[in-house]
């Protein structure tokens, strides 16, 4: 659910940004990201987390409000991780973070969102015990 939510947020941001993007989110850090893409990606990420929770019957253990909260953490945290990784690349004056996974900015671009989302969700889980 978490990884699907991260990927949905990332894919949704790309789609909504290309289709509807007009206002730049943070041009100095990531010049192609838009506010519209960020909002659309976040919404898609939340929807995917809620749908997976429902259809996987996780909602019997997890209230809908909690699934929405998890989706929100994934959507915001994932995009923050992406922006943080872009900032690091800009400060190092590199375009991609490696050639192991070509075509998507490198290896860290595949995992930048998870690096932020997993610890946040872990803390949320600890606080809810």
Q: DSSP labels for 5-22?
A: HHHHHHHHHHHHHHHH--
What pLDDT score was predicted for residue 66? 86
**Six-digit token pair at 3?**
């990884």
Q: Per-residue pLDDT averaged across 10-31, rounded? A: 94
Q: What is the mean pLDDT of the chain?
A: 87
pLDDT (mean) for 122-128: 86
CA-wise closest residue to 1 among 77, 41, 54, 60: 54
Number of DSSP helices (H) and strands (E) in the chain, helices first: 4, 2
- Displacement of CA 124 from its chain's centroid (Å): 17
List pLDDT tens digits, range 45-94. Answer: 999 999 998 888 766 677 888 889 999 999 999 999 999 988 988 898 88
The answer to whether 97 and 106 have CB atoms below 8 angstroms apart is yes
First and final CA of the chain: distance in angstroms? Answer: 20
The structural domains of the chain, with segments of one domain joined by +, span 2-128
In a 3-state reduction of DSSP, which class is residue 98?
A: coil
- Stronger pLDDT, 45 or 105, i.e. the higher one: 45
Q: What percent of the chain has pLDDT over 90?
A: 60
Q: Is the pLDDT of residue 44 over 70?
A: yes
Say if residue 124's pLDDT is above 60: yes
- Alpha carbon distance 64, 51 (integer Å): 10
Given a contact cutoff of 8 angstroms between Cβ atoms, the answer to whether 55 and 88 are in contact is: no
Rounded Cα distance between 118 and 122, Å, is 6
Using the 8-state DSSP alphabet, how is residue 26 labeled?
A: E
Task: Give the mean pLDDT of 3-7.
Answer: 93
Statement: residue 109 has pLDDT above 60: yes
């Amino acid at each position: 659910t978490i990884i699907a939510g991260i990927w949905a947020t990332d894919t949704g941001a790309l789609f909504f940004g290309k289709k509807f993007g007009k206002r730049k989110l943070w041009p100095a850090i990531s010049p192609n990201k838009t506010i519209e893409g960020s909002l659309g990606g976040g919404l898609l990420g939340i929807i995917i987390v809620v749908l997976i929770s429902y259809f996987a019957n996780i909602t019997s253990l997890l209230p809908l409000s909690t699934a929405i909260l998890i989706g929100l953490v994934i959507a915001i945290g994932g995009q923050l991780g992406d922006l943080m990784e872009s900032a690091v690349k800009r400060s190092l004056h590199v375009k991609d973070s490696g050639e192991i996974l070509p075509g998507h900015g490198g290896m860290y671009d595949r995992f930048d969102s998870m690096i932020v989302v997993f610890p946040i969700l872990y803390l949320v889980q600890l606080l809810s015990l």
